[in-house]
Amino acid sequence: MNNLTLPVFIFGSLVGLLTGALFHLIAGGKLIRLVFCLVFGWIGFWGGNYFSQRFGIQILQYGQISYGTSVVLSLILAAGGYWISGESKPEVG
């Protein structure tokens, strides 16, 4: 990730956020779950890109971003953020 330009960073961030939003669209939930899915999806996207560049994995690479590993890790972390939000805990009362 040494040669990321601003347009590449913005487009990659949008793809990461859209991945989190897509997961939330499928899984559902309230606003707090959306926020968790977006944040963890974004972190997962850039973490996946770093992972792919660090270990030389080139799956669906276009330009400076490896979209294959980035989207997969983004979905995994969005699912983790969905679970961490804890919205589905039973209410006591």
CA atoms within 13 A on the CB side of 90: 2
Per-residue tokens: 63: 């330009």
Q: What is the pLDDT of residues 32-86, one digit of tens each?
A: 888 888 999 999 999 999 999 899 888 888 888 889 999 999 999 988 888 887 7
Summarize the confidence of residues 2-14 as an average pLDDT: 86
The three-state secondary structure class of 60 is: coil
Query: Domain residues of the chain, as ranges?
Result: 7-84
Alpha-carbon gap, residue 80 to 69, rounded angstroms: 16
Per-residue tokens: 87: 């919205």
**Averaged pLDDT of the chain:** 86
The residue whose two tokens read 């669906």 is 60
Alpha-carbon gap, residue 84 to 93, rounded angstroms: 22
